[in-house]
């Protein structure tokens, strides 16, 4: 039965913060609420500006440890005819949730992402996403997000809960392909480089 409380008996880490979790703390140098965060990497499938097949998701800092983002479903994002693929919608949620790490100023990767698909999302829809970090425990950041159809007050189409796990820069330099790592470090946009590679002070 070991791990039953942490995992609800599934053997997998839970999405519920442990009792010793702390409220998230917005980094003092986090971008001001309302600031567009821009892409963290130009080839990112979620947010990269030069990624032709990507979502081109644009996230904006909110108050506290919150972000909002918008993403318009393109024909290339279909699963069923005329409808967004669920994996693409999960990506939009993942990317939005991942942007929260920039407000915490940590480098973290998605450990777990649980998605509810509530309504079908037609091609051409602009999905309005909102995410917030709910708790931090050690290297883990607990976060939640939802996506609404057509406007920030539109009907909820998707929801997700996630755990991000803080990693060192080596996570990327050891596991990523050297050419892409080199190119990312050479990006003339130093804000982007800092965002991708800055280590929590
Ligand atoms: C050119 C490169 C540019 C790079 C840019 C990089 C970063 C960008 C910077 C800012 C980000 C800005 C925006 C965000 C952008 C995108 C959003 C999308 C993000 C992703 O799409 S990212 C890709 C998908 N993602 C992965 O590719 C992860 C693969 N995976 C692993 O790399 C390991 O699996 C890892 C590191 C997760 C853990 O491994 P590990 O050995 O370091 O850690 P360990 O096992 O010690 O666990 C430590 C504590 O985390 C708990 N824990 C572990 N695993 C868990 C899980 N799955 N669920 C819940 N909790 C978990 C344990 O229970 C323990 O908790 P406790 O401390 O309480 O015991």
Report, as an integer, the average pLDDT of 2-29.
Answer: 81
Identify the residue whose C-alpha is closest to ligand 1 atom 6.
196
Identify the residue whose C-alpha is closest to ligand 1 atom 4.
196
Chain Cα centroid distance, residue 156: 18
Q: Is the CB of 38 under 6 A from ligand 1?
A: no
ipTM: 0.92
Q: Is the CB of 138 under 6 A from ligand 1?
A: yes
CATH topology of domain 29-192: Thiol Ester Dehydrase; Chain A (3.10.129)
Mean pLDDT for the chain?
91
Q: How many angstroms separate the alpha carbon of residue 112 from the centre of ligand 1? A: 8
**pTM for the full predicted model:** 0.92
Report, as an integer, the average pLDDT of 66-81.
Answer: 97
Q: Say if strands 108-117 and 126-137 run parallel, antiparallel, or are unpaired.
A: unpaired
Residue 38's alpha-carbon distances to 42, 114, 179, 189, 192, in angstroms, are 9, 25, 23, 11, 8
Identify the residue whose C-alpha is closest to ligand 1 atom 60.
13
Which of 98, 102, 111, 175 has the most ligand 1 atoms within 8 A of CB, as the residue to mutate?
A: 111
Q: What is the pLDDT of residues 164-194, one digit of tens each?
A: 999 998 898 899 999 998 888 887 775 666 6
Q: Is the CB of 93 under 6 A from ligand 1?
A: no
Q: Is the CB of 114 under 6 A from ligand 1?
A: no
Which of 165, 168, 198 has the most ligand 1 atoms within 8 A of CB, as the residue to mutate?
A: 165
Q: What is the pLDDT of residues 82-133, one digit of tens each?
A: 999 999 999 999 999 999 999 999 999 999 999 999 999 999 999 999 999 9
Q: What is the pLDDT of residue 121?
A: 98
Q: Is the CB of 48 under 6 A from ligand 1?
A: no
Number of other CB atoms surrounding residue 138 within 10 Å: 11
Q: What is the pLDDT of residue 190?
A: 59
Q: How many angstroms separate the alpha carbon of residue 123 from the centre of ligand 1? A: 31
Q: What is the pLDDT of residues 141-157, one digit of tens each?
A: 999 999 999 999 999 99
Q: What is the pLDDT of residue 81?
A: 98
Q: What is the pLDDT of residue 1?
A: 37
Asked if 100 and 141 touch (Cβ cutoff 8 Å), the reply is yes
Q: How many angstroms separate the alpha carbon of residue 140 from the centre of ligand 1? A: 8
């Amino acid at each position: 039965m070991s791990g039953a409380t942490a995992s609800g008996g599934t053997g997998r880490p839970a999405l519920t913060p442990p009792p010793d979790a702390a409220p998230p703390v917005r980094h003092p140098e986090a971008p001001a609420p309302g600031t567009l965060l821009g892409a963290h990497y130009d080839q990112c499938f979620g947010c990269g500006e030069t990624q032709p097949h990507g979502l081109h998701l644009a996230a904006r800092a909110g108050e506290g440890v919150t972000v909002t983002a918008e993403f318009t479903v393109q024909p290339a994002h279909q699963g069923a005819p005329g409808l967004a693929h669920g994996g693409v919608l999960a990506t939009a949620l993942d990317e939005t949730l991942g942007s929260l790490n920039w407000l915490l100023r940590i480098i973290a990767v998605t450990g777990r992402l649980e998605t509810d698909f509530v309504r079908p999302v037609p091609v051409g829809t602009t999905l309005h996403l909102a995410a917030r970090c709910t708790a931090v425990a050690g290297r883990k950041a607990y976060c939640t997000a939802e996506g609404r159809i057509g406007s920030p007050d539109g009907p909820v189409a998707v929801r997700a809960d996630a755990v991000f796990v803080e990693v060192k820069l080596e996570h990327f330099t050891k596991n990523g392909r050297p050419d892409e790592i080199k190119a990312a470090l050479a990006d003339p946009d130093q804000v982007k480089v800092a965002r991708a590679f800055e280590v929590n002070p």
